[in-house]
Amino acid sequence: MSTTAFDSGYVAFFTFTFVLVVTPGSTTAVVVRNTLEGGRRAGYLTALGAAVANTSIAIACGLGLSVLVSVWPGSLQVIRIGGALFLAWLGATSLYRALRHADGGIRLSLDRNAAPPRSHAAAYVGDGLGINLLSPVIISYYLSVVPSFIPAGATRFYYSGLAATHVGLAVACHAVWATALDAMRRWFVAPWTRRTLQAATGIALLALAVKVIA
């Protein structure tokens, strides 16, 4: 297999994956939610959790997750339902905060003496980890899409390179979302605007949960 063939295959994979990661989905929604809640740091930590999940799925698929799926086809259905329930829980939490707090539970860094609802880093990492580990889209991506871009004669490290590309692009994309939204977040000084944002985020997450189930 020529180097040109390898290069063209990788370019095609990179292009496909770039379009995939920049298209807003459930992970983006959770990054947005947490950035609204805890600022840029919370968004970055959520992106980190999602990256750990992506890496774990890539390794699992490389080691033979496809065998489990072939033996138990319903496993993807279970994962899909679990992911939808997790999204619904996050959405319901956002709506609850919007109803309970005049500012939607969003404490801006401009608010002195106000701590974010969840100051522990593990909480945000856990959100990113959970939403991607329970994502049938990510699992199907590594089971079906990634192998289709591996050329004949490629070494075993080629798959690792493709997986690293996806993880890196996803982290970069989510970091951009967190950075941009944190900058916008500082504009919402009036409590009612933050309450509206929290409610809109909750509705979006619930809509995504319904979409995953359907």
Q: Is there a domain that residue 132 lies in?
A: yes
Could you tell me if residue 65 is inside a domain?
Answer: yes
Q: Enter the pTM of the model.
A: 0.76
Number of domains within the chain: 1
Question: Which helix (H) or strand (E) covers residue 48, if one does?
Answer: helix 40-63
Which domain range does residue 10 map to? Answer: 3-15+25-213
Specify if 84 maps to a domain: yes
Q: Tell me, what's the pLDDT at 6?
A: 54
Is residue 20 one of the residues assigned to a domain? no
Q: At 104, is the secondary structure helix, strand, or coil? A: coil
In this structure, what token pair is assigned to residue 169? 């692009």
Structural domain includes residue 60: yes
pLDDT digits 0-9 by tens, 193-211: 778 878 888 888 888 788 7
Which residues are CB-neighbours of 58 under 8 A, at least 6 positions away? 142, 146, 163, 166, 167
Q: Which residues in 32-61 are b (16+ Cβ under 10 Å) and which e?
A: bbbbbbbbbbbbbbbbbbbbbbbeebbebb
pLDDT 10s digits, 16-28: 999 989 988 888 8
